[in-house]
Structure 1
Amino acid sequence: MRQLLGKYLLLPVLFFTHLSAHATEGMWLPQLLNRLNEKEMKGMGMKISAADIYSLNKGSLKDAIVSFGGFCTGEIISSQGLLLTNHHCGYDAIQKHSSLQDNYLDNGFWARNKQEELPNPGLTATFIVRIEDITQQALQGVTGSLNERERQSAIDKNLNTIRTNAKKESYQDLVIKPFFDGNQYFLFVTETYKDVRLVGAPPSSIGKFGADTDNWVWPRHTGDFSIFRIYAGKDNLPAEFSKDNVPLKPKHFLPISLDGIASNDFTMVFGFPGRTNEYLPSEAMKLTVEGQDPARVQMRDAALKVIDGFMRKDEQIKIQYAAKYASTANAWKKWIGEMQGVRQTGGIQRKLQQEARFRQLVQANPVYRATYGGLLDSLNNLYKEGAPATIARDYYTELLRSTELLGFANGLISLLQETRLKGEENYAQLRQQFLDKVKPQYQNYNNNVDREVAVALLDIYFKEVPSNKIGGEAYQIWMETNKDGRTTANKMYDQSALTSYDKLEAFLNKPFKSVSEEVWKDPATRLMIGLRNGYIDFINKPYDALQPEINRLQRQYMQAQMDVMKDKRFYPDANSTLRITYGKVNGYNPRDAVTYDISTTLDGVMEKYKPGDYEFDVPEKLRDLYAKKDYGQYGANGKMPVCFIASNHTTGGNSGSPALDAYGNLIGLNFDRTWEGTMSDINYDATICRNIMVDIRYVLFIVDKFAGAKHLIEELKLVHPKKGSVPLKKAS
């Protein structure tokens, strides 16, 4: 193995020479397109060059793409820094500006001029300046004789040297990420702008139309967009918020095509996909869809039912919990689709067949047999061994995530531990930092809602997690409260000092010694201490004990697959770095006798319309425009396009990514995947994996005809590439 590994490190680009081009699948590094993908992309219909997508010498498509807040993607659509992303990506910002008096979630928001644009402290937009392959430097001196800790220590030392020597401007940052399970490394030079202001957002009845019922499914009729603007210092460089800041002048912004889409059109999606695991062994896939997903779905299903009941009855609770509910429901439904998709496509069986072929190829080659024999079996056995702790870990994580009182208690316990570590003289400062952190969380906290969530989740947790993984302290408390979630929750919420910010502040406004003693008397912190100790000793320690070996074997297995299966397609898993994926506009057949078309229209919105329903209500203004067929220049053949699908390989983090045509013009805004294809993170299948985009013509129609924000339309560059106009021009 050492001999093969040494050869591999000397030629890191060989990772990519194993790739056999195959349309639609894969998330590609943009700086390598000219070497690996350009010919195929042009064969599929692309009209621009790889240099138009990624260039260091001129403005290119990459210069119009940003990481929005670190959790979504956005794109620049005007010479004045106008930024487009999803409504659900901007949802938290919109919520924070909303109140009962100015409910921007329900009514929408449109700044009439730049002075009315709303600042969002903490919200950022990050550009990629350049990408460098640093594999040889990162892995210098790393040999197969090192254990995982020694290996990582050597790599960290190398990376520190790379960071020190890397060329960058003072206002730029460096990000280094591993690829192919740590077999390759890339450096990203970035520029992060910290003054990002809300410009416009449709009401949730448009931006979130269909809400949770339609989430992850097709056909879709959601106008999932919001508009922001990036501001810079007067030198056009990143700057903290200031009234003196000016709109960013980008290196490139995206022209917008009004020509729409047609079946078989070439499409690209450019963005920051979060995480995929396409190369896991079969036991890891089984663990995901037969163990972890069911556990997480069970916990979130119970929490969502409680929260939904309260939100339907109380407008204030609806505002407080809107973003939390949406975030919780998004992953919940995705996991359900992932389980169904893997079953429907025979994903585990297909993985087993791939592994059987891998073993055959290994056995047929003496070098491979000596190097990789037994590797796959060892890795699969480790995943099986770690399954109980992994599943219990998910139950614990979901309990703390959804039961906010326990989350507050967990934070308080960490505060006390940190004070003991740093010294009691630091308690006042650490206490204030903790209070500052949790204060905004209490603003969107309701004691009654959280109590009912706790009732449901405690019953599940103590039923599904074996007692030997819960620990004696927590189980003793469970027995004291009659092994009943209601009794346990009532005691906590009736007696705890953590049920409001004022009570918590008063509780902590005592000497450190007093607080340390009284946490044992508070029922919430007492239970949390027991749960936390049990988790550390009986869940996390077994999990952590296996993880280094799993990581080592997974890295070796990744290398082995690429060495042995030379005719198989390999591309780097997503890791929140800039990627481009490409495919075509086309429908699909998810199951027997069901065929899905490529696009939807406003007709479908009206067909789903339910007056007063929080998911399917339609604003009166939109109904009037529909009745008059007043679509302006954005309609097509008497219809108003709304959404469309294509075969681009996307995942979380691609929300808000631009959908681009063959010329690099904006044609849509990526916001979802089809439910049958959500398993694409671990089991991509081109027959049913589709990404969902809101048609850019619907976005413009809402901005112009619905909102009347014509001043924003005037900022944009609208083109007709199918009618012969010249697309893709450098921003002026």
Structure 2
Amino acid sequence: MRKYLLLAALFLIHFSAAATEGMWLPHLLTNLNEKEMKGMGMKISAADIYSVNKGSLKDAIVSFGGFCTGEIISSQGLLLTNHHCGYSSIQKHSSVQNNYLENGFWSRNRGEELPNPGLFATFIVRIESVTKQALQGVTAQMTERERQSVIDKNLQTIRSGLKKETYQDVVIKPFFEGNQYFLFVTETYKDIRLVGAPPSSIGKFGADTDNWMWPRHTGDFSLFRIYAGKDNKPAEYSKDNVPLNPKHFLPISLDGVAENDFTMVFGFPGRTSEYLPSEALKLTVEGQDPAKVGMRDAALKVIDGFMRKDEQIKIQYAAKFASTANAWKKWIGEMQGVRSTGGIDRKLKYEERFRQLATPAQRSVLDSLNSLYKASAPFAVARDYYQELIRNVEMLDFADDAITMLQQPNAKEEYETLKQQYLEKMESLYKNYNNNVDREVATALLDIYFKEVPSNKIGGEAYQIWMETNKDGKTTATKMYSQSAFTSFEKLSAFFNRPFDTVSREVWTDPATRLLIGLRNGYVEHVSDPYSAFLPDMARLQRAYMQAQMDVLKGRRFYPDANSTLRITYGKVNGYTPRDAVEYGISTTLDGVMEKYKPGDYEFDVPEKLRTLYEQKDYGPYGAKGKMPVCFIASNHTTGGNSGSPALDAYGNLIGLNFDRTWEGTMSDINYDASICRNIMVDIRYVLFLIDKFAGAKHLVDEMKLVHPKRKKTSTQLRKKAA
């Protein structure tokens, strides 16, 4: 008994040291987190964060477009989110005459606010546990398919019996690998109008170079407004709609942040996998990440070389380069972070402690799960090599789309319609395609693919083509890019504007489709199908292992992995030391923007007006000690989907806007470590400064509620001291 008590105590010590870890469901804070949060400095209650009976912080948080988070910052429905979250909407409103991406956009009145068809903002009304109802009739003997079929029927029964308003929706999602289910009643507003955005030279300052990096100096924000019907309920766009009167909006603190200040981030994080076994973590950082990084590294080097020499190619490939580099850089940081913090060793020690407390059956679950990941590893790595090859060699991707179109069940009968849809899509893609660039990317990636992927996972068809071209990427690519119909849209259009029988017969002889089909057939037979065979048992064992962890480790508070539902995370404003002799502070200022300034550079140019404000030190009430704060970091546990999430102080006031993580901390999706995992936020004072002093849109600031909570705290402390 003493042995088990000691082990349990060690678990408690281990997890209290990582107190800032976790993405918590807000309706469970009272029992799980409130005491700790107050001990860390929070001044409000859990009921102030989540309540169904009164306005609370949750009523100011929205899922913005389903891909980001936004928050309400005025009584008139003014919504704040990231610039990169609003980027697509800003782009759609831009033209040569009104380039809002380059010059920014600021509405002077409600009449100038711009509608955005298809954009929406979703509030959470209430959250309920429906685990018992969802799992009714589920047995351990069921296959994964049978289990899911029963659950789906149960969820439909729950939805049909739920009492809600006609304008409300319901979402039910699994948590803890399907061991629990929660229901979310939501309200979605579809009239969202663009109010303001800084130019990209501010909103994307640092662009690809600074992405995932600290120190950061990006003013990553944009403003929208939610409109409702005259009854304040959700309504389709109408000129007669009125600004939303929210249940709650966030007051804004002008007091800034200091070391060790308590912070919260409230939002809709997308996806994490914190409870995987050690072999899964190894597979990620020692197998899959290196494979994907190696392929993208080669592709990016080729594209970068062309972009530096040719302005037209730079324009064509800028977005693709940024998209490719974003995940590439994240995976590198993930590998380095796990390595530098001993993440795999920590996971192994965790599992050893679990085994000491677990029953033989529970230990067997973990061992079997690790064995499955180990056995599936070669297939998982080969899958990533294949997917990166098809993704980054555009001609193969184009050919893949063509074959998919021709193999549809009714392709012959519906050929004219399918062909037209395909060609319309391809015409748009070819505008940003260069045959020479893609040929060099193919040369590099084919060499890597056929070197790193075992021949028994490539298949005979593709390997035959590889041998025909002397097992050389350049020879293979030269043949393909000189003879294929996919080298230009004109050739492609001529090829497909023929009878179906002719096209479907001759497409197999095109060198691009011939290689693609060889690769795809080999991939399906030797990689995808065998790998898919592992997945049902992986899902079953991961669910059992998740439940076993919760059963065995009674002293640990478990939070569910992110799944795009409303969560709150909390931590403190702290710097960090990523490696030997390097120490990062908590905040940056406008001084750093000017230090990075490169006239005319697409990443580091600075608008003239911002330079003038800096030279004159004209910061208004938003500066601090002669400086203009720009960004800060804290130990809040965030991920994709948290973009645009509010950073809140101990009183629930808005102090910043979450937009990124530090490079070394990108591993937080699979291996959070409070020593180096930091989220990056725009200081709200920089946002206000840019709206007021830079944009001249003080009317927007005037509708916000600005507060000074630290002044109030100081006054109280002085009175107590005097007494």
TM-score by length of 2: 0.91
Structure-to-structure mapping, 1:323-362, within 5 angstroms: 323-362=319-358
Q: Does the Cα contact within 8 Å between 2:633 and 2:680 map onto a contact in 1? A: yes
What per-residue deviation string (whole Å, max 9, x for no partner) do you get for residues 379-436 of structure 1? 111111100110111112222222333223222222222244xx64344444455455
Question: For 1:482-561, what aligned pairs fall within 5 Å after superposition?
Answer: 482-499=470-487, 504=492, 507-561=495-549
Specify the alignment match of 2:405 in structure 1. Answer: 415
From 185, 191, 212, the counterpart of 1:189: 185
Contact 1:602 1:639 in 2 (8 A): yes
Query: SS at 1:636's partner residue?
Result: coil
CA distance in 2, matches of 1:666, 1:106: 28
Instruction: Name which of 620, 625, 629 aligns with 1:641.
Output: 629
Q: Which deviates more from structure 2 when the two are superposed, residues 661-670 or residues 193-202?
A: 193-202
Out of 600, 616, 619, the position equivalent to 1:631 is 619
Task: Please give the alpha-carbon distance, in whole angstroms, between the structure 2 residues aligned to 1:114 and 1:704.
Answer: 17
**SS in structure 1 opposite 2:583?**
strand
Aligned runs of 1:55-204 on 2, under 5 Å? Answer: 55-98=51-94, 102-204=98-200
Shift of 1:543: 0.8
Paired residues, number: 701
Moved more, 27-36 or 440-449: 440-449
1:275 aligned onto 2:263: no
Query: Is the 1:83–1:230 Cα contact (8 Å) retained in structure 2?
Result: yes
The CA deviation at 1:298 is: 1.2
Any conservation in 1 of the 2:32–2:557 contact (CA below 8 Å)?
no
Separation of aligned partners in 2, 1:568 and 1:501? 59
Query: How far 1:537 moved relative to its partner?
Result: 0.9
Distance 1:160 1:450, change over 3 A: farther
The CA distance in 1 between the partners of 2:292 and 2:700, in whole Å, is 42
- After superposition, the Cα gap between the structure-2 partners of 1:214 and 1:357, relative to the gap in structure 1 and judged at 3 Å, is same
Cα offset for 1:295? 0.8
Q: Cα–Cα, structure 1 residues 111 and 471, in superposed 2: closer, same or farther, change >3 Å?
A: farther
Shift of residue 290, structure 1, vs aligned partner: 0.3
The letter for the 1-side match of 2:552 is V
Matching of residue 577 in structure 1 with residue 576 in structure 2:
no
**Per the alignment, do residues 239 and 477 of structure 1 end up closer, same or farther by CA in structure 2, a change over 3 Å counting?**
farther
Q: Distance between the aligned counterparts of 2:108 and 2:427, measured in 1?
A: 32
Contact 1:20 1:568 in 2 (8 A): no
Indicate how the Cα distance of structure 1 residues 57 and 280 shifts in structure 2: closer, same or farther if over 3 A, else same: same
**1:425 partner SS:** coil
Given the superposition, is the C-alpha separation of residues 400 and 150 from structure 1 closer, same or farther in structure 2, using an over 3 Å criterion? same
C-alpha distance in 1 between matches for 2:487 and 2:332: 33
Shift of 1:291: 0.4
Answer with 485-494 or 60-69: which moved more: 485-494
Match of residue 645 from structure 2? 657
Secondary structure in 1 aligned to 2:384? helix
Bigger mean CA deviation after superposition, 484-493 or 185-194: 484-493
Shift of 1:320: 4.3
Mapped contact 1:584–1:646 kept (Cα < 8 A): yes
Q: CA deviation at 1:637?
A: 0.8
After superposition, give the CA deviation of every residue in 1:653-691 in whole Å (9 maximum; x if it has no partner). 111111011121111011111222211111111112111
By how many angstroms is 1:599 displaced? 1.0
1:594 to 575, 582, 589: 582
- Contact residue 264 and residue 570 of structure 2 kept, 8 A: yes
Per-residue CA deviation, residues 131-161 of structure 1 (Å, 9 max, x unaligned), is 2211111111111111222222222222222
CA contact (8 A) 2:382 2:457 kept: yes
Is 1:508–1:515's contact at 8 Å kept on the other side of the alignment?
yes
Most deviating of 428-437 and 262-271: 428-437
Is the aligned partner of 1:216 residue 2:212? yes
**In the alignment, structure 1 residue 401 sits paired with structure 2 residue 391:** yes
Letter in 1 for 2:563: N
1:225 is matched with 221
Deviations 1:497-534 (A, max 9, x none): 44555655554444433332232133333322222212
Q: Which 10-residue stretch deviates more, 131-140 or 162-171?
A: 162-171
Unaligned runs of 5+ in 2: 1-13, 714-723
**Which amino acid in the other structure matches residue 390 of structure 1?**
A
* Map of 1:23 onto structure 2: 19
Change (3 A) 1:449 1:76: farther
Compared CA separation, residues 499 and 176, structure 1 to 2 (3 A): farther
Whether contact under 8 Å (1:588, 1:595) holds in the other structure is: yes
The residue type equivalent to 1:680 in the other structure is: S
Conservation of the 8 A alpha-carbon contact between 1:413 and 1:525: yes
Moved more, 223-232 or 660-669: 223-232
Q: Which moved more, 1:272-281 or 1:228-237?
A: 228-237
Give yes or no for the alignment of 1:258 onto 2:243. Answer: no
Partner of 1:479: 467
- Secondary structure in structure 1 of the residue aligned to 2:471: coil
Measure how far apart 1:250 and its partner are. Answer: 2.8
Equivalent AA in structure 2 for residue 38 of structure 1 = E
Cα gap change, 1:91 to 1:458, in 2 (>3 Å):
farther
Q: Which amino acid aligns with 2:24?
A: W
Q: Secondary structure at the match of 1:187?
A: strand
Change (3 A) 1:318 1:111: farther
Equivalent residues of 2:42, 2:651 under 8 A apart: yes
Q: Quick check: 451-460 or 253-262, which moved more?
A: 451-460
Q: Which one is further off, 646-655 or 608-617? A: 608-617
Task: State whether residues 20 and 674 of structure 2, in contact with CA within 8 Å, keep that contact through their aligned partners in structure 1.
Answer: yes
Matched, 1:386 2:382: no
- The one-letter amino acid of 1:621's match is K
Q: CA deviation at 1:251?
A: 2.8
Distance in 2 between the 1:439 and 1:121 partners?
24
Aligned-partner residue type, residue 389 of structure 1: F
CA distance in 2, matches of 1:321, 1:304: 10
User: Cα gap change, 1:404/1:140 in structure 2, threshold over 3 Å: closer, same or farther?
Assistant: same
2:682 corresponding residue in structure 1: 694
Closer/same/farther in 2, CA of residues 188 and 440 from structure 1, 3 Å limit: farther
Deviations 1:269-292 (A, max 9, x none): 001111111111111111000001
CA distance in 2, matches of 1:41, 1:73: 23
Cα deviation, residue 240, structure 1: 4.3
After superposition, the Cα gap between the structure-2 partners of 1:268 and 1:195, relative to the gap in structure 1 and judged at 3 Å, is: same
Whole-angstrom CA distance in 2 between matches of 1:633 and 1:299: 49
Question: For the Cα contact (< 8 Å) 1:584–1:647, is it kept in 2?
Answer: yes
Give the SS at the match of 1:132: strand
Deviates more, 1:320-329 or 1:673-682: 320-329
The 3-state SS of whatever aligns with 1:656 is: coil
Question: Is contact 1:375–1:553 with CA below 8 Å preserved after alignment?
Answer: yes
**Does the 8 Å contact 2:269/2:566 carry over to 1?**
yes
Q: 2:706 aligns with which of 714, 718, 722?
A: 718
Between stretches 108-117 and 605-614, larger displacement belongs to 108-117
Following superposition, the deviation at residue 568 of structure 1 comes to 3.3
The reply on whether 1:46 has 2:42 as its aligned counterpart is: yes
The residue type equivalent to 2:389 in the other structure is: L
Q: Are the aligned partners of 1:78 and 1:253 in contact in 2 as well (CA < 8 Å)?
A: yes
Give the whole-Å Cα distance in 1 for the aligned partners of 2:79 and 2:481: 43
What is the percentage of aligned positions where both structures have the same residue? 80
Change in CA separation of 1:526 and 1:98 when aligned onto 2, cut-off 3 Å: farther
Segment of structure 1 superposing worse, 651-660 or 53-62: 53-62
Q: Displacement of 1:200 after TM fit?
A: 2.5
Q: TM-score, normalised on structure 1?
A: 0.90
Letter in structure 2 aligned against 1:653: G
CA contact (8 A) 1:19 1:570 kept: no
Which residues of structure 1 form unaligned runs of 5+? 1-17, 363-368, 726-732
